[in-house]
Structure 1
Amino acid sequence: MTVVYPVVFTPMEEGGYLAYVPDLKINTQGEDLAQAILMARDAIGVIGLDIEDDGDPFPIPSKSVPHQENEIVSLVDVDLAAYRRSVEKKTVRRNVTLPGWLDSAAKDAGINVSAVLQAALKQQLGIQ
């Protein structure tokens, strides 16, 4: 599910931008506009996962938001499924079948089979 909310970016005196998401009542900030957009996306993602996990309805995005002349209003989208995958660090248990002699050789060599499997899967999938 992708959510899209308007975000108000306010230049700060000390530099950078404050990012306010009125529909979710959250603030964040960045050292420049690009980072403020990334931080807004992250904040929306965090709140979005909480809303999704609680089974609550998402607030309807505003069509317009009040803002000052020096502020920038932009829509920021978040693919919640992709965001969840990027932040979920939970490991899962998988049973793997391999020949006994190979398991013994790995143990004798002090090789962590799970680490080797993870590295091989990442390489196969082109994941860094």
Structure 2
Amino acid sequence: MLSIYPAIFYKDDKGRYSVCFPDFDVATCGDDLHDAMNMAIECLAAQIIWAQKDGEDLPTPSSMESIDPIAYSRSLGTEPPSDGFASLISVDAEEYAKLHFNKSVRKSLTIPQWLNEKALSQGINFSQVLQEALLEKVGGQ
């Protein structure tokens, strides 16, 4: 299920971004806007998954009209940068968790020695190849 919450982005003088989620009272950051957006998606997915696992109700998303980057920064006791802005972040937390949060498990496999040597000589990552093949086989679920 798709969840959408507002986030506030603040750019520092080195081009990095801080990202705050007022509805969850959490923050993350990124090296640039693209990285910050990816980190915001991860942060939101994590908050939703943790709340669900703990049996907590999710907060009602604030309206974009109610989000004031300057006022929020001041409520945290910091002087806001002049270029803060709000944006909606959306994520299907369950799907995101399947792809990014699930713990890896060790599997043993047997392949011919010649194939092992050839793959090693080409620097092939066995785990990555197996994961890609399995995802293709199961339909990317």
1:89 corresponds in structure 2 to 103
User: In 1, Cα distance between the equivalents of 2:17 and 2:131?
Assistant: 39
- CA deviations 1:34-89 (Å, max 9, x no partner) are 11111011111111111011121100010021113511210001101111201212
1:80 equivalent in structure 2: 93
Gap runs ≥5 in structure 1: 92-105
| Alpha carbons of structure 1 residues 90 and 13: separation in structure 2 relative to 1, 3 Å | same
User: Unpaired segments of 5 or more residues in structure 2?
Assistant: 71-81, 114-126
Bigger Cα Rg: 1
Check conservation: 2:16, 2:31, Cα contact below 8 A. Answer: yes
RMSD after superposition: 3.0
Q: Which residue of 2 aligns with 1:3?
A: 3
d(CA) in 2 for partners of 1:119, 1:71: 39
For 1:69-119, what per-residue CA distance to the aligned partner results, in whole angstroms no more than 9, with x for missing partners?
A: 51121000110111120121254xxxxxxxxxxxxxx69x68xxxx8x867
What's the counterpart of residue 67 of structure 1? Answer: 69
In structure 2, the residue corresponding to 1:42 is in which secondary structure? helix
The answer to whether the Cα contact below 8 Å between 2:8 and 2:84 also exists between their aligned partners in 1 is: yes
TM-score by structure 1 length? 0.71
> How many residues in Structure 1 have an aligned counterpart in Structure 2?
111
